[in-house]
């Protein structure tokens, strides 16, 4: 990612391991679709705590407005980041463990009172919704982004109408 002023990331997509990329790229695809400048960051709450701390404490000063953090297993990444920044943190639990993500889901959702993490669904749907949630937050202060989100929602509804039409014509 190019860190020039006009291209500074406003969303950080953070993941605990490069093995999470196949899930978290769903978030970056959507941010690209909405033309939201973003960055992809590797930081592990357990394996690189110092790097995670530096990222969390420095993100707001770099112009980042929303953080999406995906991790699997004992997924502390989103919570640890949320404890070290005032930015909104969206957690994406990843189904990368023998417990198939139940561990990550609970670790992401069950934050103690005082340190909020907005937990998404497990896996790719969660990564996708994490990006959409970030766009909705940014759209509060950005009318052009709000218009894009409205168009996205209308387009989704149109897709259902079209699929319904296809189903109907197959049944005839």
Supply the minimum distance, in Å, between the C-beta of residue 32 and ligand RP5.
22
Supply the minimum distance, in Å, between the C-beta of residue 3 and ligand RP5.
25
Nearer to ligand RP5, 66 or 73 (CB): 73
* Per-residue CA distances from 89 to 5, 27, 73 (Å): 23, 14, 18
How many helices (H) and strands (E) would you count in the chain?
6, 5
- Please report, as ranges, the residues that interact with ligand RP5 according to CB under 6 A: 16-17, 19-20, 44, 71-73, 94, 96
59: burial class by Cβ within 10 Å (0-12, 13-18, 19+)?
A: buried
Nearer to ligand RP5, 8 or 46 (CB): 46
Torsion 72-90-126-130 (CA) sign: negative
Three-point CA angle 107, 40, 124, nearest 5°: 50
CA distance 116 to 65: 15
Nearer to ligand RP5, 14 or 64 (CB): 14
Nearer to ligand RP5, 71 or 138 (CB): 71
Nearer to ligand RP5, 91 or 145 (CB): 91
Supply the minimum distance, in Å, between the C-beta of residue 74 and ligand RP5.
7
Supply the minimum distance, in Å, between the C-beta of residue 96 and ligand RP5.
4
Supply the minimum distance, in Å, between the C-beta of residue 55 and ligand RP5.
15
Q: CB of 42 within 8 A of CB of 57?
A: no
Buried b (16+ CB within 10 A) or exposed e, 18-36: eebeebbbbbbebbeebeb
């Amino acid at each position: 990612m190019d860190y020039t002023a006009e291209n500074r990331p406003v969303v950080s997509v953070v993941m605990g391991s490069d093995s999470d990329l196949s899930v978290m790229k769903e978030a970056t695809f959507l941010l690209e679709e909405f033309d939201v400048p973003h960055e992809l960051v590797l930081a592990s709450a357990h394996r690189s705590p110092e790097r995670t701390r530096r990222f969390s404490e420095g993100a707001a000063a770099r112009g980042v407005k929303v953080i999406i953090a995906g991790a699997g297993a004992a997924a502390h990444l989103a919570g640890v980041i949320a404890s070290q920044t005032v930015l909104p943190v969206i957690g994406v639990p990843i189904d990368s463990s023998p417990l198939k993500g139940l561990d990550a889901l609970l670790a992401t959702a069950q934050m103690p009172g005082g340190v909020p993490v907005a937990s998404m669904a497990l896996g790719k749907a969660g990564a996708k919704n994490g990006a959409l949630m970030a766009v909705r937050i940014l759209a509060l202060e950005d009318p052009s982004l709000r218009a894009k989100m409205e168009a996205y929602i209308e387009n989704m509804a149109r897709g259902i109408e079209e699929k319904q039409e296809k189903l109907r014509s197959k049944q005839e």
